[in-house]
Amino acid sequence: MAVRRTSILLTLWLILLTASAARANGNIVWTVTTGPTGGFVNALAPNAPGVLYAGSNSGVFVTRDDGAHWQLVSNGLPDDPTVTALVSTRDANVVLAGTLNGIYRMRDGGANWTIADPRLTNQIVNTFLSDPQNPNLIYAGTTTTVLQNDNGGDAWSDVGADLKSVRVWTFALTPDATTLYAPTDAGIYASRDRGAHWQLSSDGLPDGARPQSIVIAARGFLAGTAHGIYRSRDGKSWSPVGGGLSSAFARPLVNEPNQPDRIFAVVPQGIGKTADGGATWSLLANPLRDTPVLSLLLSDKNVIYAGTPRGVLKSNDEGATSQPLNTGFISTSVQQLLVLPGDFTLLCAATRFGFHRSPDRGATWFEARGITDPYVLSLASDPQTPAEIYAGTWSSVLIISKDSGATFTRLTENLANNAPISSLVVLHPPDQSPLVYVGTLGNGLYKGSDGGQKWSTETAGLGGVTRVAALVSVPPNWLYAATERGLDRIEWGNPTAAWQAITANLPVDEARALVFDPRHPQTHFVGFVSNGVYRSTDGGAQWTPVGRGAFPTRAPASARARSWDDQRDLRRHRSRDSSQ
């Protein structure tokens, strides 16, 4: 949590680069920008005609026009608004959301959420199932048990004692509602008395199968496991389906109630389809551009909705083609923001799925071209040629743009032996080509000369440091590094200089975020994993803790900010009451 708070606070400082410290009534007002659109979609739940709810890492979004436009409806969700499961109840105005902190309920069609059962705030909810023959009866699968409710979500009963505290991934109910199936990490369980008792029903599944999905077809059962797709005639004895998807981990598996043998399976190769209950399979012509699929919803007339890390995709032709439907869906996981020197209107964002740029302070966003390794972690611009932007990726690839981020080309392949490139800084010695410093997560620090054509490792004085979370240059010639041992710096213009650890008044802790005030270069801030934020006003000689009370926000930050939790999205905001 400390890492999250530090990263988010320093990100808010970063946005202040685009404006002065002018204030309205002493408060800065923030609004969400229009992008980058997209983000992790963990769950999809149909509601009334044209109405669809999507659970994301930033909360719940709703569309009332079949996905053309989305609106965030997350007021009242917990501090971590990640939504892992959704279900619409018999009353279309009542929707249940599974979170990392229990079950939340919305009663007013999308305005406010409240905790459904305060006793369950320690439960991580993975899935819901509404009994079609008894719509008041709802099941919830969590990381430890099965919960049951029959009164609109008020009070839930734990009916999973027989499961022995295993993770429940999803449910399937037979058409006559006599048997409920639950894939778990320990196998497939079946209940023939609406959850009161459970029995293991996994004969034929290999050890370590960890089934995570199940559907009931007209010709039997299909289950997605870590060892491929398995089939059963009776829900008790299982055998592999064989064929091209025999070893694929299928999750989720979905089918249509009116055509139960028509089944879609999300597999590593894309999306598989069978029309005969799993006897034969084919891959869809366009597997959604190799984008991972987290949730899948089959609608009528060959329409498929897919929840992905890029947002919601819709196909009107059973997946042959698809289009993003993300207008208003702003839940992108942003790793770093960059404002180019001299052009504060151009905002750049490194995300888990590409590089995005906004030429108008976040009003509109565009995705860069030429990026084949889309998980972008770090950004830096050339101070003398700001149109040149360097970007580092998770798979240790360094790319460069020479047109302000419109297009990119690869500069290096696997620079740091697969270690993610977590930080970048570009420096310009007098009358020389730029130096590029690259910090990694796991393989230390690198220096590139000739604009990144020649590379060497930086080890002098770093004492075995392997993780470099942030790099910041401070005038006139200091380079700071946030590392697993704390804070280090070097006089980069001195060819004989070595890195020095800064220990005065600082905790022994991993540093994750680092900024300085460009108007007052002697003022520095560093964020630690477990010890919060420290400030120096004398160029790093002495440090004092800050943020234990009213957190200061006057100092604009350099272009360094990062969200370190891959499952928690950081959304962009801007201030409306500050002048240029």
Q: Does 358 have pLDDT greater than 80? A: yes
What was the pLDDT predicted at 28?
66
Is residue 397 in a domain?
A: yes
| 372 confidence band (pLDDT: 50, 70, 90) | confident
CATH of the domain at 488: 2.130.10.10
The DSSP code sequence of 53-78 is: EEEETTEEEEESSTTSS-EE--TT--
pTM equals 0.81
What was the pLDDT predicted at 127?
96
What was the pLDDT predicted at 5?
39
- Ranges of beta strands (E only) in 167-208 are 172-173, 180-184, 187-191, 199-200
Top pLDDT among 460 and 2 is at: 460
Q: What is the average pLDDT across 168-177?
A: 93
Report residue 172 as tokens: 């399937």
Is residue 128 in a domain?
A: no
User: Using an 8 Å Cβ cutoff, are 379 and 389 in contact?
Assistant: yes
481, HSE (Cβ side, Cα atoms, 13 Å): 32
Give a three-class secondary structure readout of 380-430: EECCCCCCCEEEEECCCCEEEECCCCCECEEEECCCCCCCCEEEEEEECCC
Is residue 358 in a domain?
A: yes
Range with top average pLDDT, 25-29, 65-69, 101-105, 173-177: 101-105
Report the C-alpha gap between 270 and 228 in whole angstroms.
14
Burial track 195-228 (b if 16+ CB lie within 10 A, e otherwise): beebebbbeebeeebbbbbbbbbeebbbbbbebb
Report the C-alpha gap between 319 and 269 in whole angstroms.
14
522, HSE (Cβ side, Cα atoms, 13 Å): 4
Residue type, 307: G
| 570 confidence band (pLDDT: 50, 70, 90) | very low
| 271 confidence band (pLDDT: 50, 70, 90) | confident
| pLDDT tens, residue by residue, 458-499 | 888 888 899 999 999 998 899 999 999 999 999 998 888 999
What was the pLDDT predicted at 26?
52
Residue 524 sits at φ, ψ, to 5 deg, of -125, 155
Is residue 285 in a domain?
A: no
Is residue 238 in a domain?
A: no
Instruction: Return the closest-CA partner of residue 257 out of 229, 307, 303, 218.
Output: 218
User: Using an 8 Å Cβ cutoff, are 514 and 523 in contact?
Assistant: no
User: Using an 8 Å Cβ cutoff, are 265 and 248 in contact?
Assistant: yes
Report residue 215 as tokens: 């559907």
Report residue 263 as tokens: 């089944």
| pLDDT tens, residue by residue, 173-195 | 999 889 999 999 999 999 999 89
The three-class DSSP label of residue 302 is coil
Check residue 24 and report its DSSP letter: B
Count of other CB atoms within 10 angstroms of residue 128: 25
What was the pLDDT predicted at 321?
82
Handedness of CA 499, 452, 521, 358 (dihedral sign): negative
Report the C-alpha gap between 341 and 348 in whole angstroms.
12
Range(s) of the domain holding residue 560: 2-24+332-415+424-570
Is residue 492 in a domain?
A: yes
Q: Does 319 have pLDDT greater than 80? A: no
Lowest mean pLDDT among 43-52, 209-218, 237-246, 273-282: 237-246
Report the C-alpha gap between 374 and 377 in whole angstroms.
9
| 3 confidence band (pLDDT: 50, 70, 90) | very low
| 344 confidence band (pLDDT: 50, 70, 90) | confident
Is residue 272 in a domain?
A: no
Count of other CB atoms within 10 angstroms of residue 384: 11
Residue 12 sits at φ, ψ, to 5 deg, of -60, -40
User: Using an 8 Å Cβ cutoff, are 377 and 415 in contact?
Assistant: no
Please count the structural domains in the chain: 1
Report residue 347 as tokens: 């905002």
- Which whole-number Å values give the CA distances from 514 to 273, 350, 532, 562, in the listed order? 49, 17, 12, 10
Q: Does 1 have pLDDT greater than 70? A: no
| pLDDT tens, residue by residue, 284-305 | 876 556 678 899 998 876 788 9
Question: How much is the mean pLDDT over the chain?
Answer: 85
Report the C-alpha gap between 73 and 112 in whole angstroms.
7
Q: Does 134 have pLDDT greater than 70? A: yes
Is residue 60 in a domain?
A: no
